[in-house]
């Protein structure tokens, strides 16, 4: 499985959140937006930001785990969570530059995107609807990935200025 990465074009995101539904149906068996590994933030209507793991080259989350519950899938470069070992301390969420991991509503276990083993469901439904806000590319590991692990509210602040000009600066405080 060659190393893959999910490209995110925020301005194409329509806010339909089908990625959340496809992901939770795949991993949890039913529609559970808050248990989806990709969550769409909308700090202001129209400024939607899909938030998911960027597989940083130095994996700060894996390093920070006190019980070694996180590992890396050599093929897809995805972070894999061992749910038995995870104690729900939240260290990985704090270590992540974009606070991407979160504790599962059901059992407070760390929840991180595993790239569906190489064929992400979120990308499929996004492409099916023609938005292409999420695109799969076959690219090797790079230091730039980590820059995409950003707090979605900061991303939204930038997008707001691009969409609305000066008015954008007042919309997300």
Contacts (CB under 8 A) with another protein, residues 139-168:
139, 142-144, 147-148, 150-152, 155, 158-159, 161-168
For another protein, give the closer residue by CB, 68 or 169. Answer: 169
Site for another protein contains 74 (CB under 8 A): no
Phi and psi at 111, nearest 5°, equal -125, 115
**Are 37 and 112 a contacting pair, CB within 8 Å?**
yes
Q: How are beta strands 79-81 and 134-137 bridged, if at all?
A: unpaired
CB of 162 to another protein, least distance (A): 6
The residue within the footprint of another protein, chosen from 72, 87, 129, 141 (CB under 8 A), is: 129
For another protein, give the closer residue by CB, 61 or 78. Answer: 61
CB of 133 to another protein, least distance (A): 9
The residue within the footprint of another protein, chosen from 71, 80, 108, 118 (CB under 8 A), is: 108
Distance CA 152, CA 50 (A): 8
CA-CA distances (angstroms) from residue 152 to 15, 100, 107?
A: 14, 9, 24
Distance CA 50, CA 113 (A): 12
């Amino acid at each position: 499985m060659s190393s893959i990465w999910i490209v995110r074009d925020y301005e194409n995101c329509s806010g339909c959140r089908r990625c959340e539904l496809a992901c939770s149906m795949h991993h949890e068996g039913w529609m559970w937006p808050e248990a989806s590994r990709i969550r769409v933030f909308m700090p202001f209507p129209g400024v939607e930001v899909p938030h998911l793991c960027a597989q940083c080259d130095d994996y700060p989350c894996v390093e920070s785990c006190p019980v070694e519950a996180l590992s890396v899938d050599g093929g897809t470069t995805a972070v894999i969570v061992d749910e038995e070992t995870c104690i729900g301390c939240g260290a990985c969420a704090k270590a992540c530059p974009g606070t991407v991991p979160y504790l599962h509503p059901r059992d407070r276990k760390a929840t991180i995107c595993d790239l569906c083993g190489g064929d992400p469901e979120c990308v499929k439904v996004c492409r099916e609807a023609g938005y292409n806000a999420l695109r799969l590319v076959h690219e090797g590991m790079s230091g730039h990935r980590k820059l995409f692990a950003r707090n979605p509210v900061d991303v939204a602040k930038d997008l707001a200025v691009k969409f609305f000009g000066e008015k954008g600066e007042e919309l997300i405080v």
